[in-house]
Amino acid sequence: MNTVTKTGRRANPASARIRVSEAMHEGVLTCSKDASLAYVAAVMAGRRVHCVVVTGDGRDPDDLWGIVSDLDLVAAASVRDLDEQTAGAAAATTPLTVRRDETIQRAAQLMTEHGATHLVVVDDEGRPAGVLSTLDVAAVLAAP
């Protein structure tokens, strides 16, 4: 049974028990901040993913710069050609990270507080290990 929180929302007990590591997608697709958004779109479409993590120079995957999501691509395409835009310009903020051992509930709080649809999951050393999306959280919440 779900309980009601102080905000009046129902808390999902599974989200407090299940760890990010159980719901995340392992591995991180990256590109440099200088990569064209056309390239990023091709990577997303080819790999059927909803985001690419942008790194500072593209060589060091630990050098997190931002995240370009499918929604960022749609917004960018409405302005001008994707070949004329870079991943760094579309991902102007530092990506949010969450540790593998955090709960789904904590990840959902981070997403809500920051209006984020993706979190970069980091290992014990702070290195990117995967991605957690709102769809991954929804799958946990929908589980019986």
Q: Is residue 5 part of a domain?
A: no
Nearest to 104 by CA among 24, 10, 26, 7: 24
5-34 pLDDT, tens digit each: 444 555 556 677 899 999 999 999 999 999
- Asked if residue 126 is part of any domain, the answer here is yes
Q: What is the pLDDT of residues 61-93, one digit of tens each?
A: 678 889 999 999 999 999 999 999 999 999 866
CATH of the domain at 44: 3.10.580.10
Flag whether pLDDT at 4 surpasses 60.
no
Any idea how long the chain is? 144
In a domain, 125, yes or no: yes
Total domain count, the chain: 1
Residue range(s) defining the domain that contains residue 118: 18-142
pLDDT score recorded for residue 95: 87
Query: What is the predicted pLDDT for the residue at 2?
Result: 43
How much of the chain is helix, strand and coil, in % rounded to 5? 40, 25, 35
Q: Is residue 63 part of a domain?
A: yes
Please check whether residue 81 lies inside any domain of the structure.
yes
How far apart are the C-alpha atoms of 32 and 88, rounded to whole Å? 8
